[in-house]
Structure 1
Protein backbone atom coordinates (compact mmCIF):
# COMPACT_ATOMS: atom_id res chain seq x y z
CA UNK A 1 0.00 0.00 0.00
CA UNK A 2 1.10 3.59 -0.46
CA UNK A 3 0.99 6.56 1.91
CA UNK A 4 2.04 10.17 1.55
CA UNK A 5 4.46 11.49 4.16
CA UNK A 6 5.03 15.23 3.91
CA UNK A 7 3.92 15.02 0.26
CA UNK A 8 6.33 12.18 -0.61
CA UNK A 9 4.97 8.79 -1.65
CA UNK A 10 6.11 5.74 0.33
CA UNK A 11 5.25 2.08 -0.19
CA UNK A 12 4.64 0.35 3.14
CA UNK A 13 3.33 -3.02 4.20
CA UNK A 14 -0.20 -3.62 5.41
CA UNK A 15 -0.28 -3.41 9.21
CA UNK A 16 2.34 -0.66 9.48
CA UNK A 17 1.99 1.51 12.58
CA UNK A 18 2.99 5.14 12.85
CA UNK A 19 5.97 4.14 15.03
CA UNK A 20 7.11 1.62 12.40
CA UNK A 21 6.66 4.20 9.65
CA UNK A 22 8.87 6.68 11.51
CA UNK A 23 11.53 4.01 11.85
CA UNK A 24 11.17 3.12 8.15
CA UNK A 25 11.78 6.71 7.08
CA UNK A 26 14.70 6.89 9.52
CA UNK A 27 13.34 9.20 12.18
CA UNK A 28 14.95 7.60 15.21
CA UNK A 29 14.31 10.28 17.82
CA UNK A 30 10.69 11.03 18.63
CA UNK A 31 11.61 14.06 20.72
CA UNK A 32 10.08 17.23 19.32
CA UNK A 33 8.02 15.35 16.71
CA UNK A 34 4.31 15.70 16.01
CA UNK A 35 2.36 13.46 13.63
CA UNK A 36 -0.98 14.10 11.95
CA UNK A 37 -2.84 11.57 9.82
CA UNK A 38 -5.35 13.07 7.40
CA UNK A 39 -5.15 16.40 9.30
CA UNK A 40 -5.86 14.76 12.70
CA UNK A 41 -3.06 14.97 15.28
CA UNK A 42 -2.20 11.56 16.70
CA UNK A 43 -1.08 11.50 20.35
CA UNK A 44 2.43 10.15 20.78
CA UNK A 45 1.22 7.38 23.10
CA UNK A 46 -0.89 6.01 20.20
CA UNK A 47 1.90 5.77 17.62
CA UNK A 48 2.67 2.12 18.44
CA UNK A 49 -0.98 1.13 18.05
CA UNK A 50 -2.35 3.25 15.22
CA UNK A 51 -2.14 1.63 11.81
CA UNK A 52 -1.73 3.64 8.64
CA UNK A 53 -4.09 2.99 5.75
CA UNK A 54 -3.65 3.07 2.00
CA UNK A 55 -3.54 6.65 0.66
CA UNK A 56 -3.24 8.23 4.12
CA UNK A 57 -1.79 11.73 4.11
CA UNK A 58 0.69 11.88 6.98
CA UNK A 59 2.32 15.09 8.14
CA UNK A 60 5.38 14.97 10.36
CA UNK A 61 6.43 18.19 12.04
CA UNK A 62 9.72 18.59 13.84
CA UNK A 63 9.95 21.36 16.43
CA UNK A 64 12.92 23.68 16.12
CA UNK A 65 14.19 26.46 18.28
CA UNK A 66 15.69 29.74 17.42
CA UNK A 67 14.97 33.37 17.46
Structure 2
Protein backbone atom coordinates (compact mmCIF):
# COMPACT_ATOMS: atom_id res chain seq x y z
CA UNK A 1 0.00 0.00 0.00
CA UNK A 2 1.10 3.60 -0.44
CA UNK A 3 1.02 6.52 1.98
CA UNK A 4 1.99 10.12 1.45
CA UNK A 5 4.45 11.38 4.09
CA UNK A 6 5.21 15.10 3.98
CA UNK A 7 4.43 15.08 0.24
CA UNK A 8 6.63 12.02 -0.48
CA UNK A 9 5.08 8.73 -1.53
CA UNK A 10 6.16 5.62 0.41
CA UNK A 11 5.25 1.99 -0.17
CA UNK A 12 4.65 0.24 3.16
CA UNK A 13 3.15 -3.06 4.21
CA UNK A 14 -0.49 -3.37 5.23
CA UNK A 15 -0.79 -2.91 9.00
CA UNK A 16 2.24 -0.62 9.32
CA UNK A 17 1.88 1.53 12.43
CA UNK A 18 2.98 5.12 12.90
CA UNK A 19 5.90 3.95 15.06
CA UNK A 20 7.00 1.48 12.36
CA UNK A 21 6.72 4.18 9.69
CA UNK A 22 8.92 6.53 11.70
CA UNK A 23 11.51 3.78 12.05
CA UNK A 24 11.24 2.97 8.32
CA UNK A 25 11.97 6.57 7.35
CA UNK A 26 14.77 6.70 9.93
CA UNK A 27 13.30 9.07 12.49
CA UNK A 28 14.87 7.56 15.58
CA UNK A 29 13.94 10.09 18.22
CA UNK A 30 10.31 10.88 18.99
CA UNK A 31 11.12 13.91 21.13
CA UNK A 32 9.71 17.09 19.62
CA UNK A 33 7.75 15.22 16.94
CA UNK A 34 4.06 15.51 16.13
CA UNK A 35 2.24 13.25 13.68
CA UNK A 36 -1.07 13.89 11.93
CA UNK A 37 -2.93 11.49 9.66
CA UNK A 38 -5.34 13.11 7.23
CA UNK A 39 -5.07 16.38 9.22
CA UNK A 40 -5.91 14.72 12.56
CA UNK A 41 -3.16 14.82 15.20
CA UNK A 42 -2.48 11.38 16.67
CA UNK A 43 -1.39 11.25 20.34
CA UNK A 44 2.12 9.88 20.81
CA UNK A 45 0.76 7.17 23.12
CA UNK A 46 -1.18 5.73 20.13
CA UNK A 47 1.70 5.57 17.64
CA UNK A 48 2.60 1.94 18.35
CA UNK A 49 -1.03 0.82 17.91
CA UNK A 50 -2.34 3.07 15.13
CA UNK A 51 -2.17 1.31 11.73
CA UNK A 52 -1.95 3.30 8.54
CA UNK A 53 -4.41 2.85 5.68
CA UNK A 54 -3.78 2.98 1.96
CA UNK A 55 -3.59 6.56 0.64
CA UNK A 56 -3.28 8.12 4.11
CA UNK A 57 -1.75 11.57 4.14
CA UNK A 58 0.80 11.65 6.99
CA UNK A 59 2.29 14.90 8.21
CA UNK A 60 5.33 14.79 10.48
CA UNK A 61 6.29 18.02 12.22
CA UNK A 62 9.50 18.57 14.17
CA UNK A 63 9.75 21.28 16.78
CA UNK A 64 12.78 23.49 16.36
CA UNK A 65 14.39 25.99 18.67
CA UNK A 66 14.89 29.54 17.65
CA UNK A 67 14.46 33.00 18.83
Same fold (TM > 0.5): yes
Structure 1 stretches of 4+ moved >6 Å: none
Which residue matches 2:51? 51
Mapped partners of 2:57, 2:66: distance in 1: 28
Which residue matches 1:31? 31
Alignment deviations for residues 8-60 of structure 1 (CA, whole Å, 9 cap, x no partner): 00000001000000000000000000000000000000000000000000000
TM-score (norm. length: structure 2): 0.99
How many aligned residue pairs are there?
Answer: 67
Secondary structure at the aligned position of 2:60 is classed as: strand
Unaligned segments of structure 2, at least 5 residues: none
Unaligned segments of structure 1, at least 5 residues: none
Which residue matches 1:19? 19
For the aligned residue pairs, the C-alpha RMSD in angstroms reads 0.2
